[in-house]
Amino acid sequence: MGRLAGKSVVITGAGSGIGRAASLLFVAEGARLVAVDRSEAVADTVADIRKAGGTAEAVIADAGSEPDVAGFIARAVSAYGGLDVIWANAGISGGLVPLGEQTPEHWQEILRINLIGPFLAIKHAMPQMISQRRGSIVCTASVAGLKSGASGHPYAASKAGVISLVQTTAYSLSGTGVRINAVCPGLIETGMTKPIFDGARERGTEDRIGQLNPLKRAGQPHELAAMGLFLASDEASYVNGQAIPVDGGLTASMPYAGKPI
């Protein structure tokens, strides 16, 4: 019996990176999954899960669209009889456009996916979870939402918003039995961070990746998935309203502003 045995779970951004790693791990721990992504790569995630004997459905959807969010949450409830966990993980980076060259449209799209997306996940998951008197909501924030210097302005602002959303929602859910927390990745090797890793390799500076944190390395998606599993499970029954860095210790001092790899 795994830590999520029989639990109904939704994970967004499940086609790659942290979302894919979390999907594989959660199902290995007994979850029944609705894996969501706007890319068809989510079908590959589900195919791998089913090959291993797990239970999962793939949904191609936009995590920042309210009809899509309502649809995939309803699908999980219909398929599995309830909703125990949702991990609002889908996000986009937006690149490193100079502040003076950014446009409202650029900001709006990043905020739509990164901040409105988690809000919609919370909004549509709450009624089912409250009716059950239990549930765990996990949101992907970032160390960029904790301190400056880790990413571009709109991305950092969106992730700071996620942290605030998690903290305020914890109090909105007081007495319901539903918990909410955020994970804050540091430098993790995913599709989103691929330009950083590729650029360092092209310059021959790959050995400098992750050298600004005390562990002296970058992280891997499975390390974030493990934290998400803890927060989703009953083992974290007294953890609520927290934004937890998974960053090799980087935010202990945040020394990297102005020091590109």
Whether the pLDDT of residue 194 is over 80: the answer is: no
- Distance from C-alpha of 93 to C-alpha of 100, rounded to nearest angstrom: 18
Q: What percent of the chain has pLDDT over 90?
A: 75
Candidates 77, 79, 75, 36; CA nearest to 55 is 79
Q: Known catalytic residue: 155? A: yes
- Residue 69: pLDDT band (50, 70, 90) is very high
More confident residue, 129 or 152: 129
User: Which residue ranges make up each domain of the chain?
Assistant: 8-190+221-246
Candidates 219, 188, 103, 200; CA nearest to 153 is 103
- Distance from C-alpha of 15 to C-alpha of 41, rounded to nearest angstrom: 5
Whether the pLDDT of residue 197 is over 70: the answer is: no
| pLDDT computed for residue 261 by the predictor | 44
- Distance from C-alpha of 190 to C-alpha of 246, rounded to nearest angstrom: 14
* pLDDT (mean) for 148-171: 91
| pLDDT computed for residue 258 by the predictor | 52
| pLDDT computed for residue 34 by the predictor | 98
Instruction: Please tell me which residue in 155, 171, 238, 256 is annotated as part of the active site.
Output: 155
- Residue 115: pLDDT band (50, 70, 90) is very high
| pLDDT computed for residue 99 by the predictor | 83
| pLDDT computed for residue 202 by the predictor | 73
DSSP secondary structure code for residue 237 in this structure: T
- Distance from C-alpha of 80 to C-alpha of 190, rounded to nearest angstrom: 30
- Distance from C-alpha of 196 to C-alpha of 210, rounded to nearest angstrom: 11
User: Across the chain, what does the average pLDDT equal?
Assistant: 91
Burial string for 114-126 (b: 16+ CB within 10 Å, else e) reads bbbbbbbbbebbb
* pLDDT (mean) for 228-241: 98
- Residue 198: pLDDT band (50, 70, 90) is low
Candidates 111, 133, 128, 120; CA nearest to 36 is 120
pTM of the model: 0.92
Q: Are 142 and 92 in contact (CB under 8 A)?
A: no
Q: Which fold has domain 8-190+221-246?
A: Rossmann fold (3.40.50)
SS3 call for 25: helix
Candidates 63, 64, 62, 45; CA nearest to 54 is 45
